[in-house]
Amino acid sequence: MKQFFLPRLVLLMSIFSFSFHLSSCGSSGNSGTTADTTTSAVVPADVVVSSPTASTSVSASLGVKTLKAVGDAATEDYDAKKTALQNLISGDNDCAFTLQIPSVSSPSCYGPPVNFNGHLNSSAIDGDTNDDGQADDDGALPSGDTGIWNTTQGVSEACAAAKMNELVQKVSANVDNMINIAAVMACSGKKAGTTLPTIGATVDLASTVESQSTVSGLTVSSATLARKANVDANSDGTTDPVYVSTLGVSMDFGGAIGVRTGTITLKHIPTTSDNSTYKGKLSFSMAKSSEDGGNCAGTAGTESGAVNAGTILYEKTSGTSLTYETNFAEFCGSSTDPFDTDNNIDPSDKVSTSNTDGWGNNWNYGLFALNPSNGTGTFAYAWQAGQGDGNTRVLDVTTSIDSSDNLSGTAYFGFGTDIATAAGRGTITAMICNWAGPGNTHTGLEKAQRQVMSKASGTDTWISSSANITYAPSNSCDAGIGDGFIYEAVNSGTYAAVAGTSGSELNFDNDRETDAAAVTNNLVNLTDVVFTAPTAPTDI
């Protein structure tokens, strides 16, 4: 079993408030609006992913923090992030932001390592407290596989909210960097007075970006803006313009991360002339000298390194309806081209001895439908640690807002099918209570963990209203009185001779220090899960 390690490359997503709301853009089908003919029109000015369960006072996302002199660096509020990006694109400020890939830690309430004694499914019950191997009844469950183990992170934050924030943050900084680079190109063109190209024409903006922007550590080797043939997509016979921005970049993050080279392709189609509705796709890659998860070793031939690649497919159909789909993974080999002819990455393109440039580590998938006016909606997220895992971990969240700006939400955690299975990505199919323990089975039960959360207007933190997270790490998800099975979450994965004696116990809700009482899971049946995954946008 490979433990789950999300990539340190952080994309612009901080738990699910992706918001696209471009400035006005080139001519399209609808009349009565003023078309923008500047380069600010071809970058989605609301492409920010901000968690619906994020704090509004302490930044858990990096979208605002990475922008210089615009927005509030101490907030990840959806509107503030959107405003900051729009200010950069507008050309009214310096064409600058700060490149960074920060480290983000997983909340301890989710997936902690768990020491156990007397495991119920062991085939080697030996009567001692020594860990004698995988089948032994004494040992430790690795981190990442035990789900929501405590109701709160710290004193009061709902664990599901904390985990969702971490998941999105670990993919969001990379998106931040890439969309901000595209925004710098738009800002530079606007300052230089560059107009949009005509159909079939391409504008070279490399020298313009060099002269107009000031981003420490960023070198833009190529930057072009092309106008493709209009697409005939409207019932009234009118057509929509198609703009494609393509950049080659080198990014020096300093320190241990060092220099990474990247490519960015942004295809944007405004579906109204004022760009109030639109669709598009951002594809990007970043090459680096080493991999994150270890699954490329021995399969990637003689080439070292890896490429982190991702796509964001989006569509805004009204002022209250935005849908987007994200994919991100680490591909083996630093010279790998992970994209197909449509600039997509393929989850079935797995690394192997016969396919040495496939993905090996940390596939992250998101499918979100939200109201861009307030950031609430439906969010499905799935992740898979390595190409050899047979299941994804899935966290599904819905949020809503009332007339007094109080927020409420419900989160479900469980396991889904392999990420390569096209149907049902982001949908929970089972709760696997014993993923890595002795005698484990990955069939699981048709159940899920559930946490109901709320965030009062004017407060900073999502709190837990109720939780159905109790289970035993056995195949049945239960444990009986006097069965000898005890288990406890710890700060590290170091096995303790007797559970509860290592000195690093976390004292979490799902711990079982004695077998004096039975453990009966209170997980919810999948038939009682109130969640429907959004429909993904049509690829362009």
Closest CA to 332 of 286, 371, 299: 299
Which residues partner with 448 through β-bridges? Answer: 524
Instruction: Please say whether the beta carbons of 453 and 409 come within 8 A.
Output: yes
pLDDT, tens digit, 9 for 90 and up, residues 260-313: 999 999 999 988 887 788 899 999 999 988 887 788 886 656 578 999 999 999
What is the per-residue pLDDT for 63?
Answer: 29
Measured CA to CA, the distance from residue 22 to residue 19 in angstroms comes to 9
Cα-flanking dihedrals φ and ψ of residue 217, to 5°?
Answer: 90, -10
Q: Bigger pLDDT: 254 or 14? A: 254
Beta strands in 90-208 (DSSP E): 114-117, 139-141, 152-153, 157-158, 202-204
Residue 534 lies in a domain: no
Least reliable range by pLDDT among 12-21, 159-168, 369-378 = 12-21
Residue 146: band (very low, low, confident or very high) from pLDDT cuts 50, 70, 90 = very high
Q: Copy the structure tokens of residue 161.
A: 């909210």
Residue 6: band (very low, low, confident or very high) from pLDDT cuts 50, 70, 90 = very low
Cα-flanking dihedrals φ and ψ of residue 321, to 5°?
Answer: -140, 110
- Mean of pLDDT values over 198-208: 96
- Mean of pLDDT values over 195-205: 95
Runs of H (alpha helix) within 6-99: 78-90
- Mean of pLDDT values over 15-39: 43
**Any idea of the CA torsion for 270, 275, 276, 280, to the nearest 10 degrees?**
30
**CA angle at residue 421 from 395 to 375, to 5 degrees?**
35
**CA angle at residue 435 from 433 to 436, to 5 degrees?**
130
How many CA atoms lie within 13 Å of 12's alpha carbon, on the beta-carbon side?
29
Residue 114 lies in a domain: no
Q: Is 107 helix (H, G, I), strand (E, B) or coil?
A: coil
Residue 475 lies in a domain: no
Q: Copy the structure tokens of residue 368.
A: 């979100």
pLDDT, tens digit, 9 for 90 and up, residues 39-77: 776 877 666 666 667 654 333 222 222 333 233 233 355
Give me Rg for the CA atoms of the chain: 24
Residue 325 lies in a domain: yes
Q: Bigger pLDDT: 476 or 501? A: 476
Handedness of CA 267, 46, 413, 536 (dihedral sign): negative
Residue 361 lies in a domain: yes
Measured CA to CA, the distance from residue 420 to residue 425 in angstroms comes to 9
Instruction: Please say whether the beta carbons of 398 and 409 come within 8 A.
Output: yes
Looking at the structure of the chain, the number of domains it has is 1
pLDDT at 509 over 90: yes
218: left (phi over 0), alpha (psi -120 to 50) or beta: beta
Residue 499: band (very low, low, confident or very high) from pLDDT cuts 50, 70, 90 = low
Which residues partner with 242 through β-bridges? Answer: 228
Measured CA to CA, the distance from residue 342 to residue 399 in angstroms comes to 33
Which residues partner with 310 through β-bridges? Answer: 284, 328
Cα-flanking dihedrals φ and ψ of residue 280, to 5°?
Answer: 175, -175
Residue 8: band (very low, low, confident or very high) from pLDDT cuts 50, 70, 90 = very low
What is the per-residue pLDDT for 365?
Answer: 95
Closest CA to 116 of 531, 415, 505: 505
Residue 316 lies in a domain: yes
Query: Mutual orientation of helices 78-90 and 159-192 as an angle, nearest 10°?
Result: 20
- Mean of pLDDT values over 504-509: 90
Exposed/middle/buried for 68, CB within 10 Å: 0-12, 13-18, 19+?
middle
Computed over every residue of the chain, the mean pLDDT equals 84
Measured CA to CA, the distance from residue 325 to residue 40 in angstroms comes to 24
Residue 4: band (very low, low, confident or very high) from pLDDT cuts 50, 70, 90 = very low
pLDDT at 107 over 90: yes
Residue 131 lies in a domain: no
- Mean of pLDDT values over 373-378: 87
Closest CA to 158 of 397, 446, 447, 503: 397
Residue-number span of the structural domain to which 235 is assigned: 39-106+152-465
Exposed/middle/buried for 421, CB within 10 Å: 0-12, 13-18, 19+?
middle
Q: Copy the structure tokens of residue 384.
A: 């898979």
What is the per-residue pLDDT for 231?
Answer: 93
Runs of H (alpha helix) within 193-235: 206-212
Residue corresponding to tokens 């819905």: 398
What is the per-residue pLDDT for 234?
Answer: 74
- Mean of pLDDT values over 76-96: 80
Measured CA to CA, the distance from residue 472 to residue 478 in angstroms comes to 5
Measured CA to CA, the distance from residue 467 to residue 452 in angstroms comes to 6
pLDDT, tens digit, 9 for 90 and up, residues 210-266: 999 999 999 999 999 999 999 987 777 889 999 999 999 999 988 888 899 999 999
What is the per-residue pLDDT for 411?
Answer: 98
Measured CA to CA, the distance from residue 134 to residue 293 in angstroms comes to 22
What is the per-residue pLDDT for 226?
Answer: 97
What is the per-residue pLDDT for 367?
Answer: 93
- Mean of pLDDT values over 188-207: 95
For 336, residues 6+ apart whose C-beta sits below 8 A from its C-beta are 287, 306, 307, 357
Q: Is 333 helix (H, G, I), strand (E, B) or coil?
A: coil
pLDDT at 355 over 60: yes
What is the per-residue pLDDT for 75?
Answer: 37
Cα-flanking dihedrals φ and ψ of residue 335, to 5°?
Answer: -105, 10
Q: Copy the structure tokens of residue 493.
A: 């994965």
- Mean of pLDDT values over 430-435: 98
Residue 116 lies in a domain: no
Instruction: Please say whether the beta carbons of 85 and 116 come within 8 A.
Output: no
Q: Copy the structure tokens of residue 537.
A: 């946008």
What is the per-residue pLDDT for 69?
Answer: 29
Q: Bigger pLDDT: 497 or 204? A: 204
Residue corresponding to tokens 């944007």: 268
- Mean of pLDDT values over 86-114: 88
Residue 350: band (very low, low, confident or very high) from pLDDT cuts 50, 70, 90 = very high
Q: Copy the structure tokens of residue 533.
A: 């995954």
pLDDT at 385 over 70: yes
pLDDT at 12 over 70: no
